[in-house]
Chain A
């Protein structure tokens, strides 16, 4: 965790700070997706629905209730938790491609609602602006403050997920990924834990959405469009699925590449396509996966088998 804090602070030397603020928010979204996909093996094409719900709930709270950042965060977390709890009952009953596509369908519906169905509240394509009042030193319009706040949020989410994934619960969701049927015969109601994991992942995505609304002061349907899922999936694959550090590394590397590509090349999407092919065919385990392999090889050539004891 200290590694992440130090890395982000060091990156401020070579990158604009407002980039890194966005990266930190994006990394939270990627982390939440990694819990669902990397750890529990459930690939969703509609994860940003909950990011969008958090983002709109936060903006609406800022506009209609009070310009208080903590109220906005509370509203975003509450809305995404409630929605994912309800929809979770349906989606966790599906598997594989159906799971991915049911989520995509729900995401499409949410996107349409933001675009036109609930236009009266979301202002549709024009987007919704909001402003935040400063609380003491916490002024989101000051770039270092916003950066520091997002970094702390990232570290909190990382710490929470690290605790969850290292616990017996973490072993349970990895077991569900490998062989769900078998887990039932260990006495666990897998449906219940799949639902719970889905809700945790969606709520953290919603939290990332609220932070996006706070730091940008403007949200639009495009931020939660189904295509946005591709960015999250890319980031997890680059970093290495099923590894929390991988999610953060992938998030930073991917966003850096996008920012550099977009400033230098007009149509950069093709390069993303090529990159995905490379990832899928030659680089399956992502950056952290290969680092782990290397570390294991080194320790094996040096250490005795006894060192591998728990």
Chain B
């Protein structure tokens, strides 16, 4: 689905990500773990086009997308969520979904409706409410987004990503900052999404997604130190040493 070849990112003299080779297989769910500052988010930012890599190549299917800007990657079927939840606070909840459900950026889309049709039209509202229903927020469609709880905002953000109908969804710590109850909701949703979408998940709370993922990659100091089946990766001595050694409480929480 998506693969990184010798991907490297340097910030000045600092190497945040060092020659990573990774392949995420279509239809699978993969996890990425690693201590804070190990380069997980930097890797994500390169895969999604947020940051240009210093060296290396990114392929989406057969296509070289290393130089492709973010919006074109979305057009290919890639969507992401952010470590700190990122939704539009100044708008109402349903307005957050107008741009993603409408897909007005697509070629040959409805320009007339995009520029001159009211956003608050029946078809657009129905699409937005449908997307909100998937994440259980339909009752809050008219609320101000700034008034939502953090968990609801996370659900909304995932709802926005889902409404792009992605083939590949990258989630950057989707469970961070959520209550146990909310974690359950998000994990259930991830299980459901897995049916028709390739998932890549950065997550510290690895125990919560063990039942979900088929592969696990471990980063440390910008280097990929281990990759494979989640169970065997977690029992790898090197992983235990550099990851579990430092972050037992966090990782098991």
Which residue numbers of A lie inside 8 Å of B, CB to CB?
163-164, 166-172, 174-175, 178-179, 181-190, 308-310
Beyond A184-B69, A310-B142, whether A168 also contacts B86 by CB under 8 A is: no
- Kindly list chain A residues whose C-beta atoms are within 8 Å of the C-beta of B90: 174, 178
- Kindly list chain B residues whose C-beta atoms are within 8 Å of the C-beta of A186: 71, 74, 99-100, 105, 160, 164
**Interface CB pairs A-B, < 8 A, 15:** A167-B117, A168-B119, A172-B99, A178-B90, A179-B86, A184-B70, A184-B74, A185-B48, A185-B50, A185-B74, A187-B71, A190-B71, A308-B142, A309-B141, A309-B142
Once bound together, how far apart are the Cα atoms of A128 and B92, in whole Å?
Answer: 50
Does B26 interact with chain A (Cβ within 8 Å)? no
Q: B28 CB to closest chain A CB, in angstroms? A: 22
> Which of these, B72, B103, B118, B160, contacts A166 with CB under 8 Å?
B118
Beyond A187-B103, A310-B142, whether A182 also contacts B50 by CB under 8 A is: no
Q: B128 CB to closest chain A CB, in angstroms? A: 8
A170 touches B71 (CB 8 A): no
A182 touches B99 (CB 8 A): no
Q: B246 CB to closest chain A CB, in angstroms? A: 31
State the 3 A-B residue pairs at the shortest beta-carbon distance, nearest first. Answer: A187-B74, A309-B142, A184-B70
Beyond A168-B104, A189-B71, A189-B105, whether A183 also contacts B118 by CB under 8 A is: no
Q: B11 CB to closest chain A CB, in angstroms? A: 18
B86 touches A166 (CB 8 A): no
Per-residue CB contact flags for chain B residues 104-116 toward chain A (1 = under 8 Å, else 0) read 1110000001111
- Kindly list chain B residues whose C-beta atoms are within 8 Å of the C-beta of A190: 71
Once bound together, how far apart are the Cα atoms of A20 and B73, in whole Å?
Answer: 51
- Kindly list chain B residues whose C-beta atoms are within 8 Å of the C-beta of A310: 92, 94, 120, 125, 141-142
Does B79 interact with chain A (Cβ within 8 Å)? yes
Once bound together, how far apart are the Cα atoms of A85 and B7, in whole Å?
Answer: 38
- Kindly list chain A residues whose C-beta atoms are within 8 Å of the C-beta of B71: 184-190
> Which of these, B91, B104, B116, contacts A164 with CB under 8 Å?
B116
A171 touches B95 (CB 8 A): yes
Q: B184 CB to closest chain A CB, in angstroms? A: 26
B116 touches A188 (CB 8 A): no
A308 touches B143 (CB 8 A): yes
Once bound together, how far apart are the Cα atoms of A54 and B106, in whole Å?
Answer: 34
Q: A80 CB to closest chain B CB, in angstroms? A: 20
Beyond A187-B105, A188-B99, whether A171 also contacts B143 by CB under 8 A is: no
B75 touches A168 (CB 8 A): no
Name the CB-closest residue of A to B163. A186
Does B32 interact with chain A (Cβ within 8 Å)? no
> Which of these, B70, B99, B103, B164, contacts A171 with CB under 8 Å?
B99
Q: A172-B104, A175-B88 are in contact. List 15 more A-B contacts (CB 8 A).
A: A167-B113, A167-B119, A169-B115, A178-B89, A179-B88, A183-B99, A185-B71, A186-B100, A187-B75, A187-B103, A187-B106, A187-B164, A188-B104, A189-B69, A190-B71
Per-residue CB contact flags for chain B residues 43-68 toward chain A (1 = under 8 Å, else 0) read 00000111000000000000000000
B residues 17-60 near A (Cβ < 8 Å) are: 48-50
Does B102 interact with chain A (Cβ within 8 Å)? yes
Once bound together, how far apart are the Cα atoms of A36 and B95, in whole Å?
Answer: 20
Q: A292 CB to closest chain B CB, in angstroms? A: 13
A166 touches B119 (CB 8 A): yes
- Kindly list chain A residues whose C-beta atoms are within 8 Å of the C-beta of B106: 187
Beyond A184-B70, A184-B71, A310-B94, whether A167 also contacts B115 by CB under 8 A is: yes
Once bound together, how far apart are the Cα atoms of A239 and B142, in whole Å?
Answer: 26
- Kindly list chain A residues whose C-beta atoms are within 8 Å of the C-beta of B91: 171, 174-175, 178
B98 touches A171 (CB 8 A): yes
Once bound together, how far apart are the Cα atoms of A235 and B113, in whole Å?
Answer: 31
A185 touches B141 (CB 8 A): no
Does B124 interact with chain A (Cβ within 8 Å)? yes
Name the CB-closest residue of A to B111. A169
B102 touches A168 (CB 8 A): yes
Does B80 interact with chain A (Cβ within 8 Å)? yes
Q: B160 CB to closest chain A CB, in angstroms? A: 7
> Which of these, A169, A181, A182, contacts B88 with CB under 8 Å?
A182
Once bound together, how far apart are the Cα atoms of A153 and B113, in whole Å?
Answer: 24
A167 touches B88 (CB 8 A): no
Beyond A168-B124, A187-B74, A308-B142, whether A182 also contacts B116 by CB under 8 A is: no
Most buried by B among A181, A188, A308: A188
Once bound together, how far apart are the Cα atoms of A169 and B88, in whole Å?
Answer: 15
Beyond A178-B89, A187-B71, whether A168 also contacts B142 by CB under 8 A is: no
Q: B91 CB to closest chain A CB, in angstroms? A: 7
Once bound together, how far apart are the Cα atoms of A31 and B31, in whole Å?
Answer: 50
